[in-house]
């Protein structure tokens, strides 16, 4: 089976964790290549600032305030992509949290949060809406 990939400038890309670090850099680089973006993160101010930056530079970006540990938030990201661009081609799972501490000092609640974001938050998209 042969797979034909779209060129970047023909794609819609969802980037989670888009408000800082690798997600922020990836969004900026993708926008320069002409990718239409759906930007997701918990930080509304930083997310809106990035979307404005991309749009002012001539790109297309839709911000979605979301916590990937919440299935309903992930579905809102999918719905935003569908509404703005008719769907998406690429989903970049970049959102993540980390912990630091001695095992006996880290709470079970913190451990659960790490798994909710870093593992489960990346597994709950209902894929019938994908690909574009």
**CATH number (domain holding residue 87):** 3.40.50.720
- Tell me the percentage of the chain whose pLDDT exceeds 90: 61
User: What's the pLDDT at 129?
Assistant: 47
Structural element, H or E, at residue 54: helix 44-56
Q: Which residue has the higher pLDDT, 64 or 96?
A: 64
Residue 49 lies in a domain: yes
Judged against a pLDDT cut of 60, whether residue 132 lies above it is answered with: no
The whole-model pTM stands at 0.82
The number of distinct structural domains making up the chain is: 1
Collapsing DSSP states into helix, strand and coil, what is residue 72?
helix
Residue 118 lies in a domain: yes
Contact 123, 46 (CB under 8 A): no
SS (H, E, C) 92-110: ECCCCCCCCCCHHHCCHHH
Residues pairing with 41 in the sheet: 65
Residue 124 lies in a domain: yes
Structural domain including 46 reads 8-129
């Amino acid at each position: 089976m042969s797979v034909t990939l779209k060129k970047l400038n023909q794609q819609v890309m969802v980037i989670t964790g888009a408000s800082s670090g690798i997600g922020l850099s990836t969004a900026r680089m993708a926008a320069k290549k002409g990718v239409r973006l759906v930007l997701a993160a918990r930080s509304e101010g930083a997310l809106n600032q990035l979307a404005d930056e991309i749009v002012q530079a001539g790109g297309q970006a839709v911000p979605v305030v979301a916590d990937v540990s919440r299935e309903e938030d992930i579905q809102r990201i999918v719905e935003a992509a569908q509404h703005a661009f008719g769907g998406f081609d690429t989903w970049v799972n970049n959102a993540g949290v980390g912990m630091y501490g001695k095992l006996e000092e880290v709470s079970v609640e913190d451990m659960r949060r790490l798994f909710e974001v870093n593992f489960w938050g990346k597994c709950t998209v209902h894929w019938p809406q994908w690909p574009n």
